[in-house]
Amino acid sequence: MLIAWGFCLGLVIGSFLNVVIHRLPREESVVAPRSRCPACQTPIRAWDNIPLVSFLMLRGRCRACKHPISWRYPLIEALTGILFALTVGRFGLTLQAAFLLTFLAGLIVVTFIDLDYQIIPNVITLPGIPLGLLAGLLLGTPPLLDRVIGTLAGSGFLYLVLLYGGAFYGQEAMGEGDLNLIAMVGAFLGWKAVVLTILLGCFSGSVVGVGLIAIRRLGRRQHIPFGPFLSLGAVVALFWGERLIAWYLRLL
């Protein structure tokens, strides 16, 4: 029942995150006006805005103009539901879970905005840094010092990549938004998770990049956003980081 409750809560929050992802880059209010069809601007009725269910009932089309509804809307709702269910199932209905749910919601917003616009909004990451440090002060796990080290070391490392990578390649190697994102990861998860997040982000980003080049969907001089891969690494570090680190130490 706890996991089911977490999943349903995630569906509702995911529906709101869709609004944030759509409106935040456009500098529009995420509160008003009410949700509208992007094609015909018809306000969406409450019964047509039920997460997942309405998309299936409407067969993926607007009731008014029959314009297709993007598959990303139910995807984000389902993804948020799954992550919330995992979090509540592991940490229970605790203050720690509340902080982590906020963190995961921020990662989802960052990921999809970065995919669309190749920007990471500071309005998400910068408030997340003191919030994560506050969690360390209140919870103590991971300790506040670990979180501070993770914030400074993670952003410092990526700053060096940004500085020297840009000088070496003659173009920007990484966006400044990635620095704030990894700083937020460090504030919530600590320095060990930051190391794992960067490693996993670089590995998964390299695999995807090489794959896109191989199938000629990406040029060698084109950029792909790094934020989604850092977010993926952070999620893996949160739920399975300790096991991965222990496995790696056993190999050594």
Q: What is the pLDDT along the chain (252 residues), one digit of tens a residue?
A: 899 999 999 999 999 999 999 999 998 988 888 888 888 888 888 888 899 999 999 888 988 898 898 999 999 999 999 999 999 999 999 999 999 999 999 999 999 999 999 999 999 999 999 999 999 999 988 999 999 999 999 889 888 887 776 655 555 656 789 999 999 999 999 999 999 999 999 999 999 988 988 887 887 677 889 999 999 999 999 999 989 988 888 887
Burial grade of 83 (CB within 10 A; 0-12, 13-18, 19 or more): buried
Whole-prediction pTM value? Answer: 0.92
Residue closest to 52 by CA, chosen among 73, 37, 35: 73
The strand pairing partners of 68, in sequence order, are: 61
DSSP state of 170: S
**Residue ranges covered by each domain of the chain:** 1-92, 94-252
145, 180 Cβ separation under 8 angstroms: no
